[in-house]
Structure 1
Amino acid sequence: MPDAPVIVSSDPESFPHSVLAERHPALIRKVLDAFPYGPDRRRALDALLTSVTEGVLEPLGPDAADVAQWDAWGLRAYAGRSWFEVPFLWAESYFYRRLLEAVGYFAQGPWRGVDPFRPFKLAELDIPEADAELAALDQLAARPAQDRATALLHGSLWGNRADLGFQLSAAGGPSAERQLVADESELFWALFSGGTVCLVADNAGRELIPDLLLIDHLLLHGRADRVVLHLKPYPYYVSDATTADLLDAVHRLTGAGGAAAESGRRLRVALTDGSLAVRTHSFSCAPLPYADMPDDLAHEFAQADVTLLKGDLNYRRLVGDRDWPPTTPFARATAYFPGPVAALRTLKSDVVVGLARRTESSLVAAEGQSWRTSGTHALIQARP
């Protein structure tokens, strides 16, 4: 059993406290500004704002279709308590479920199924940086195969800093390797030798596109015979990828021209012939670690030749959102996982494992604890 304490948000000086006290209220205001919601929805969002800043966790309405599921996930135990007293992962997840309730995402009516984060996701795909990242693929195509593999791996790793990944092999270009706190790239690649790969996606927009390019590379070069892409069943954590976001990303690739369009066309074919399959599962939006995943999801991961989890939230759920000593072995924290597993993650929260003691010491000496949450460091970890 884990022996590290679960991360909570009660310390006013902590990063988790700042997320609940500052980031979530700011997001509510941003959503209010982005949509012309009517008075009922605006009142519901205002009530959620009051709840997260001054109040306590309130239960879902009795007519919510997933109320029994959330009760099983801990809502009965946590309702009536302060947002800051319950596990940070749980509080964050429940906030997004309540936000969707407030905007009418699940209710009968005109706002049913309208993603409150969609404007922010689409905006990322249309900025000049996105054009530059996709154009860089043309130059990358002329590089040796190993250079292309490394660049695409780092593009997926860094997400919306993917331009850094694509330029990794260019002479005199910046090196992402200097910012890796753990780099098990050799072990990572050894896991991909054909068969079925499950890729659990993280964010949409400019972060999903590099993931799709990595999937295209795996299929094109025989590192995977089939990829199962796990997406969120509904909008989650602002930018987490849904099926609609996947379609937007593939459309952006196919419309870009050059090597990007070639990848986009191959991905469309892969989707139609089944070599790229799409999955959604309710547990993808659960407020729990993967150690508590249901049997059907565990069985799917067990059947895969390797499961790759992308991003910060999936990492927290993979190793457990706990105050682990950073030198805790990655293999220990993921020993429960039912098959070979790898993680690509930019550090944006406190939890981390698998670091060498010397690495941790040098990071703390140079940056205090800010290296854990600044998004300027990343890791590549794998467990056969």
Structure 2
Amino acid sequence: MTLAQDDTDFDVKNGIIDSETPPHSELAAQYKRSFAYYTFRFRLPSTLETIANSLAKNKDELLAKYGADAVTDIEQTAEAIRELRSNILQNEKLLPFTDKESDCDVWNAFLEKLPQEKRTYFSACWLYAECYMYRKVSSIFQLSRLAGFDYFSRQKSTATQLSLDAMLAVAKATRSSESNAATFQQLLKLNLWGNRCDLSITSGKQVKPTGDAFDLVQELDSNLLVDNTNAIWLSLHSSNGEGIVEIICDNAGYELYTDLILAEYIIDKGLAKKVRFNAKAIPWFISDVMANDYHWTLQFLADQSDLVLGELGKKLKRFTDEGKFELAPLEHFWTSPYEFYRMAEMQPTLYERLSQAQLVLFKGDLNYRKLLGDYSWHDTESFETCLRGFRPSNLCTLRTIKADLVCGLPQGLSERLFATNKEWMLTGEYGLIQFASK
């Protein structure tokens, strides 16, 4: 059977619709011309195969950590990951979780409320199904002796090491920066474009940042489709510097480094008294920051023989010790299926914490999807409308566009971009810095 025939048979069997996602409906893999369909047919199966293969590849390391009698667990875990891959490719149901993690009941209650006709990988809302898959992988590990193992850690540390030259160049360029709007806006844009190094979009293939980072910021300025950096500057500059900035992190590696550079500036220039970093509770979308990645990165910088990077690492560790930088308490809401407009209802203590911040900064594509919900808004609808009432504080989003949803664009802009490149929303070449005041 040819691949094309296999695709046709799959589509007919699973009610796949040969169209783009209709306006004002949930993004889902059931629409064949959507990125969601491509994600579940190709990207996620590839990610799962990589995880399964890595268990065999790193077997000796795992046995050293978990004991010689973990051999069976390694084999059974790899088998379970491959079974999950098969379940996706056969469009199986999203089944309840059976692990003992603290968010298990939340997830199962959520799944129970999904309509039966929207409880498979291709029929469910893309956001729900993709988050479910990553939570399922975590569950497979938690139910074995390998509980607590970060199966993406090697990829994240490799990505950081590949970024060393770019990190050094950025450090040298920012050691004597001025306290003004222009400099702050440059650092926001540096932080935005750091999001291009995203392992989940490449199914784990490494992306090495190259060239002068600030030259790149200037070159990509015409690709910044919405630029609310001045409003973000004013939201901090107009305060008394006693506030807190909450960063909802995205990727480890170079992007986390640019988070730290921006946060250093915010503290050094007295724009806030504290920057709090919100990391993921479980391995998530390959390259997302976990607490260990934060600490590992600071130590990695401090250990560098180059004086500039070494001193920067020591300074950032000192900021952490002094409470100027802070890792937020472990929070499973970030790895739940819920959109952010449901935070006040589902996790009111988190919503209350964010409401006390001077600014909440959401990083990356997945956080953007959760801000808007995986929903085919018209691209000109306002950011405020699409937030659906989620306004705990002044908030902004820094996002390179890697999925087919967007809002807040000027009239006619997306049409011009589609005329140039039909896949402009999937490449990460375009970005948004959007702001909504409280």
Cα distance in 1 for residues equivalent to 2:281 and 2:273: 25
**C-alpha contact (below 8 Å) 2:341/2:371 kept by paired residues:** yes
Cα distance in 1 for residues equivalent to 2:227 and 2:333: 29
Task: Measure how far apart 1:55 and its partner are.
Answer: 3.7
**C-alpha contact (below 8 Å) 1:158/1:346 kept by paired residues:** yes
SS at match of 2:114: helix
State the AA in 1 paired with 2:126: F
Task: Specify the alignment match of 2:152 in structure 1.
Answer: 117
Question: What's the TM-score once normalised by structure 2's chain length?
Answer: 0.80
Q: Does 1:230 align with 2:250?
A: no
Identity of aligned residues (%): 26
State the AA in 2 paired with 1:139: A
State the AA in 2 paired with 1:313: L
Cα distance in 2 for residues equivalent to 1:284 and 1:83: 20
* Residues paired across the two proteins, number: 375
Cα distance in 2 for residues equivalent to 1:153 and 1:132: 16
Q: Indicate which of 276, 284, 287 corresponds to 2:334.
A: 284
**C-alpha contact (below 8 Å) 2:138/2:282 kept by paired residues:** no
Cα distance in 1 for residues equivalent to 2:436 and 2:307: 36
**C-alpha contact (below 8 Å) 2:184/2:233 kept by paired residues:** no
Task: Specify the alignment match of 2:62 in structure 1.
Answer: none
For residues 247-273 of structure 1, the C-alpha deviation after alignment (integer angstroms, 9 at most, x for no partner) is: 122122223434433332222112112
For residues 33-91 of structure 1, the C-alpha deviation after alignment (integer angstroms, 9 at most, x for no partner) is: 22226321122112111101014124244344343111222345367832100000000
Cα distance in 2 for residues equivalent to 1:238 and 1:30: 11
Q: Does 1:132 align with 2:170?
A: no
Query: After superposition, where does 1:286-365 map in structure 2 within 5 Å?
Result: 286-293=336-343, 294-334=347-387, 335-365=389-419
Question: What's the TM-score once normalised by structure 1's chain length?
Answer: 0.90
Task: Measure how far apart 1:140 and its partner are.
Answer: 4.0
State the AA in 1 paired with 2:172: D
**C-alpha contact (below 8 Å) 1:6/1:87 kept by paired residues:** yes
Cα distance in 1 for residues equivalent to 2:284 and 2:173: 35
Unaligned 5+ runs, structure 2: 1-22, 60-73, 198-208
Query: After superposition, where does 1:143-292 map in structure 2 within 5 Å?
Result: 145-146=179-180, 148-159=183-194, 167-168=213-214, 174-193=218-237, 194=241, 195-256=243-304, 257-279=306-328, 280-292=330-342
Between 1:207-216 and 1:141-150, the stretch displaced more is 141-150
**C-alpha contact (below 8 Å) 1:151/1:166 kept by paired residues:** no
Q: Does 1:41 align with 2:77?
A: yes
SS at match of 1:16: helix
Q: Indicate which of 362, 365, 376 corresponds to 2:429.
A: 376
Task: Specify the alignment match of 1:67 in structure 2.
Answer: 104
Cα distance in 2 for residues equivalent to 1:253 and 1:160: 20
For residues 108-131 of structure 1, the C-alpha deviation after alignment (integer angstroms, 9 at most, x for no partner) is: 52x11111111111111122x432
Cα distance in 2 for residues equivalent to 1:148 and 1:265: 23
For residues 142-193 of structure 1, the C-alpha deviation after alignment (integer angstroms, 9 at most, x for no partner) is: 56555643432222101255857963269xx852211111111111211223
SS at match of 2:285: coil
**C-alpha contact (below 8 Å) 2:167/2:254 kept by paired residues:** no
Larger Cα-atom Rg: 2
Q: Aligned in 2, Cα 1:373/1:266: closer, same or farther, shift over 3 Å?
A: same
For residues 222-258 of structure 1, the C-alpha deviation after alignment (integer angstroms, 9 at most, x for no partner) is: 1111111111111111111000110122122223434
Task: Measure how far apart 1:12 and its partner are.
Answer: 2.0
SS at match of 2:236: coil
Q: Aligned in 2, Cα 1:262/1:148: closer, same or farther, shift over 3 Å?
A: farther
Q: Aligned in 2, Cα 1:74/1:244: closer, same or farther, shift over 3 Å?
A: same
Cα distance in 2 for residues equivalent to 1:165 and 1:305: 34
RMSD over aligned CA atoms reads: 2.3
State the AA in 2 paired with 1:159: G
Task: Measure how far apart 1:24 and its partner are.
Answer: 0.8
Task: Specify the alignment match of 2:136 in structure 1.
Answer: 98
Cα distance in 1 for residues equivalent to 2:419 and 2:84: 40
Q: Aligned in 2, Cα 1:74/1:201: closer, same or farther, shift over 3 Å?
A: same
